[in-house]
Amino acid sequence: MRVLLIFFIILPAFLFSQKKVVFENEFKESFHTKPKLDIKLDNRFSFIRDNDVKTIGVKIGLNFNRKFKVGLGVNQMLLPVEKKFLNQENVLVPVDLEYFYLSPYFEYVYYNSKRWEFSLSTQLGIGGASYRFTDINGKKIKLVESTVLSYEPAMLIDYKIIRWFGIGTGVGYRLVYYKSPGISEKFSSPVAVLKLKIYLGEIVRTITGKELEID
């Protein structure tokens, strides 16, 4: 586990060092171009307490010259993890673990062609987790919660199926560097990524004949 974490932290730095001059030139040139919308839906599969966990996210950002992408994502654990929680009355009650976070992201595309795109990605997770209990009336009651901050590097591959949509996959690691007291779960975990990409600019251009750009 630690070896995998070190690999995902060091590899991007190694690649950047090997292409430092190229990267710097691409960075300067790309951010002087007009960006296009970058919209994608992604599913991230990880583990919490030996449970398979699926997190669904929506990301909206800007794509600069097909080289750099920056934006913000909204992520929610799709199905809560069930466990027993010892409440203040020292009674074990069934609770659901829920996890929600915002994720500013940055991607560097180091190879692209007409259909393929290879990139290095990093995102920060800013959110929280909570234990929630369902009472006899079906109402969810929050028993305890924690602030969770994470860092998630990943290597991604995208494939453009048709001019409007594409799919992608990748692997990464979610490292939680801060968690306030309350929730006992460990959220650090290897992550597998599956995503659907929407090329909104192509859709608009097909329908209206106009280029969708953002100044």
3-state secondary structure 9-58: HHHHHHHHHHCHHHHHHHHHHHCCCCCEEEEEEEEEEEEECCEEEEEEEE
Chain segment 165-204, per-residue pLDDT in tens: 899 999 999 999 999 998 888 889 899 998 888 777 677 7
Question: For residue 11, what pLDDT is reported?
Answer: 53
Cβ proximity of 154 and 175 under 8 Å: no
Cβ proximity of 57 and 41 under 8 Å: yes
Calculated CA dihedral for residues 8, 9, 11, 15, nearest 10 degrees: 130
Give the largest Cα separation in the chain, rounded.
66
Count other Cβ atoms within 10 Å, centred on residue 55. 22
Sign of CA dihedral 43, 46, 51, 57: negative
204's torsion region: left (phi>0), alpha (psi -120 to 50) or beta? Answer: alpha
What CATH number is given for 2-208 in this structure? 2.40.160.20
Question: For residue 163, what pLDDT is reported?
Answer: 81
Regions of the chain with pLDDT less than 70:
1-24, 50, 87, 201, 209-215
User: Phi, psi (5° rounding) for residue 160?
Assistant: -85, 110
> Can you give the residue ranges of every domain in the chain?
2-208
Question: For residue 21, what pLDDT is reported?
Answer: 56
Question: For residue 214, what pLDDT is reported?
Answer: 43
H or E element, residue 29: helix 20-30
Angle CA 26–28–33, to nearest 5: 90
User: Phi, psi (5° rounding) for residue 10?
Assistant: -80, -35
For residue 92 the two structure tokens come to: 């074990």
* C-alpha–C-alpha distance, residues 161 and 167, integer Å: 7
DSSP tag of 206 = H
Count other Cβ atoms within 10 Å, centred on residue 117. 20
